[in-house]
Structure 1
């Protein structure tokens, strides 16, 4: 009988398969810029078809991993293709694909130093460098966690720890905590507040202006109304930027309000905080250096694979207070601040060393790559918006501040329904992938220009395809 375990660990098989995989991935990335009509971004199948395919596949005999990978790649959305303008997912710069393989091979745990010596050290180096780019002092520090949702939850936990004794003593009778946040904030803020026990009434959503930015002029009245209702507001969350439209809140105004009322100021900068790398766009995050905490997704505008999120604290010591507890089997010193023992500051114990990906990009190309990426993608969005405004068949939801553009095809009646059907057809055709959002109760098409290989002619072709489908749809109902 064949020894399967020994075969699974065969270095010769790995060497051969690894070479073949690199060739296959290189071909896959080469296709990313192709103009061939048979190159699709979205190989659409409905959920039931996809489920049935993989249920049947599971029952088949063993297969070569290369055949399996080909199948998975062919059936997945192609974020590397230049006509992918859907969600805020970056095409990982190729060198970070290689570093991801190293991360998997090392398989380091990050909870304690001896299991994550390099990883914990790189997290300190990279988060402190990022903090300095954002304008913080040397007192700032942070760590890397698995995604913006977990980063935002951890930041709100830190805000709660700074304002209450809930972590150790639980909620007091009739204690009602609350957070002030833009009504356009990412849903994970709402979810985090509920997880923390604030309840729906503890999530105070501040209206936005016509640019979908928080109306900071309303903060004072909303705060007074909350305190009059017996709520303890502990935190204000600013967006840099919002998910739907890419709008940046006035962080300076939020900082001043927070300081006036001694409130924790958190910035969800998952998408837009790297604007600080660009002298041209740094003004978008003015005031971010006054925040008590900031979330930044390396895996959005900084070109590395998901998930890899930096959580920065203005005062590094705040990270330890968040999860103060005993774990004798991990740490001999329970109460000390030890940056090198990652489990003292984050939810995660066994955590991937994803920081290696961003460190690899930084050490290979320098930080100029981030400035260039920001300026290319933001600039392309500006040009795309200008083209939309000159076309009488389209309307722009708002002027883009970054690389997210919301627009739609005009219609005399039921514009939302028409644009929804246009997107459905585009999705099924598969040559382009874009998404949709709801703004002021109306449906708009939404593009996130995330791929630096995308060209203006690709976006021109997208508009032409939308016009073609719209004309056919309008004609079919006349």
Structure 2
């Protein structure tokens, strides 16, 4: 067998050539998108058309440069100021470079010797989170996304709070968690993975502002206990994904303390507001939580995936997993903060800490304040603009960078009209926004993720929606 192909694949000079070309392409992409030089955020294709394009593409020979160029052209441009859709950050370039480095080094991080630098950096990052949250004895780790982070925290809650040793002995009693009906679907999914079932997920109604109705907590708790369930945790949303509204964390804590249940906060999207003096009040009560998760790839500018799972007490961060893997570490009874496979789902865990630390190293923690505050200000400014338009209505006053609104019409079904507007905008590609359903009503939904999205962009979006709506109505 010849090794010539292997030598070519690992050739450092080839990497330098192709890497330099890629950096130049990304640099051009950033120049074209970040300040809005390119016309479109997305060039829409149907799933089948995209599949067949790539099926044909791989049947031919292309240079690496051409392949990368094609991927960029056919991908959504999250760095464009007219990308106002899903909660994905326009990655800070230095964080992307850190991700490139971690991908090439490929340190698995299950045990310390497989990722010494990134393991130590991860501890420093978690200490920074714990400090700003207000956890004096806090500890935790980084994991791959909010869904996995919420599951890990709730498993810790089960281990600490449940009367049974579920991990080793399985379920012998019915367990339940309490959560807002507006909570992210991943909390529901985590509860089902844990075996709680539909009846073990107690969804508390929200008020007119979409906050959890904390005055109902006692009655909902009593009702589920009467049915033979053991409530182990309550989850606060900070904020809910659909509306960007924060639950009253102080009130939830008071309930959790009175009932002796675990208090967890899903702050995947809005936890980074803790770094903003202007908006940190939205997280009042976070310092009293037993656990909290915060995504770096949403409101902190890191590349995906990178989520902090932070526990108020250090010992709780070890509670989820107790299985032995003696070939990885010698004394399972020791805390061994540096052997991260003891605390996370991942064994081969990526070097996520580099994505955070590269930003802090380059720009300081102040960057996170500037980033969050700018985006939350943009959301509130857009909400004010919508309220000034006679032909638009807003679902509720925004408190974060998420705004739900819609075009008003006296002709046709308002829900169908706005759904058609959303579809038309997607196919047009100049802007990217999404939609959501609130109490059975369809609303357009914007999430301001780019700090360079201006009032001019917002006004253009409203005018474009108006144009699209009138065209749709005229042909209906």
**Residue 60 (1) aligns with residue 60 (2):** yes
Contact 2:36 2:81 in 1 (8 A): no
Which residue does the alignment assign to 1:9? Answer: 10
Give the C-alpha shift of residue 119 in structure 1.
1.5
Which residue does the alignment assign to 2:41? Answer: 41
CA distance in 1, matches of 2:273, 2:463: 31
Q: Give the 3-state SS of the residue equivalent to 2:233 in structure 1.
A: strand
Which residue does the alignment assign to 2:266? Answer: 268
Distance 1:431 1:349, change over 3 A: same
Which residue does the alignment assign to 1:201? Answer: 199
Q: Give the 3-state SS of the residue equivalent to 1:279 in structure 2.
A: coil
**Residue 455 (1) aligns with residue 454 (2):** yes
Which residue does the alignment assign to 1:227? Answer: 225
Give the C-alpha shift of residue 98 in structure 1.
1.1
Which residue does the alignment assign to 1:217? Answer: 215
Give the C-alpha shift of residue 237 in structure 1.
0.1
CA distance in 1, matches of 2:197, 2:3: 57
Which residue does the alignment assign to 2:468? Answer: 469
CA distance in 1, matches of 2:147, 2:117: 25
Contact 2:36 2:80 in 1 (8 A): no
Which residue does the alignment assign to 2:161? Answer: 163
CA distance in 1, matches of 2:467, 2:34: 23
Give the C-alpha shift of residue 35 in structure 1.
4.7
CA distance in 2, matches of 1:46, 1:362: 40
Q: Structure 2 stretches of 5 or more lacking a match?
A: none
Q: Structure 1 stretches of 5 or more lacking a match?
A: none
Give CA-to-partner distance per residue, 1:255-274, whole Å, 9 cap, x none: 01000010000000001111
Which residue does the alignment assign to 2:99? Answer: 100
1:188 to 179, 186, 189: 186
Give the C-alpha shift of residue 101 in structure 1.
1.2
Show the 5 A alignment for 1:341-356.
Answer: 341-356=339-354
Give CA-to-partner distance per residue, 1:264-320, whole Å, 9 cap, x none: 000000011111111111110000011000000011110010000000000111121
Give CA-to-partner distance per residue, 1:215-251, whole Å, 9 cap, x none: 1111111000000111111000000011001000000
Contact 2:36 2:82 in 1 (8 A): no
Give CA-to-partner distance per residue, 1:126-158, whole Å, 9 cap, x none: 011111101111x10110000000000001100
Distance 1:2 1:39, change over 3 A: farther
**Residue 25 (1) aligns with residue 26 (2):** yes
Give the C-alpha shift of residue 33 in structure 1.
3.9
Q: Give the 3-state SS of the residue equivalent to 1:322 in structure 2.
A: coil
TM-score, structure 1 normalization = 0.97
Show the 5 A alignment for 1:81-100.
Answer: 81-100=80-99
Give the C-alpha shift of residue 32 in structure 1.
1.2
Give the C-alpha shift of residue 60 in structure 1.
2.0
Which residue does the alignment assign to 1:386? Answer: 384
Q: Give the 3-state SS of the residue equivalent to 1:59 in structure 2.
A: coil
Which residue does the alignment assign to 1:258? Answer: 256
Give the C-alpha shift of residue 2 in structure 1.
8.0
Distance 1:326 1:224, change over 3 A: same
CA distance in 1, matches of 2:226, 2:332: 40
Which residue does the alignment assign to 2:407? Answer: 409
Q: Give the 3-state SS of the residue equivalent to 1:245 in structure 2.
A: coil
1:240 to 227, 238, 241: 238
Q: Give the 3-state SS of the residue equivalent to 1:351 in structure 2.
A: coil
Which residue does the alignment assign to 2:299? Answer: 301
Contact 2:394 2:406 in 1 (8 A): yes
CA distance in 2, matches of 1:160, 1:58: 48
Q: Give the 3-state SS of the residue equivalent to 2:314 in structure 1.
A: coil
Q: How many residues align?
A: 472
Which deviates further from its counterpart, 90-99 or 185-194? 90-99
Give the C-alpha shift of residue 168 in structure 1.
1.0
Contact 1:397 1:407 in 2 (8 A): yes
Q: CA RMSD in A?
A: 1.1
Contact 1:123 1:142 in 2 (8 A): no
Q: Give the 3-state SS of the residue equivalent to 2:176 in structure 1.
A: strand
Give the C-alpha shift of residue 34 in structure 1.
4.9
Give CA-to-partner distance per residue, 1:61-98, whole Å, 9 cap, x none: 3x221111111111111101110000000001111111
Contact 1:31 1:39 in 2 (8 A): no
Q: Give the 3-state SS of the residue equivalent to 1:428 in structure 2.
A: helix
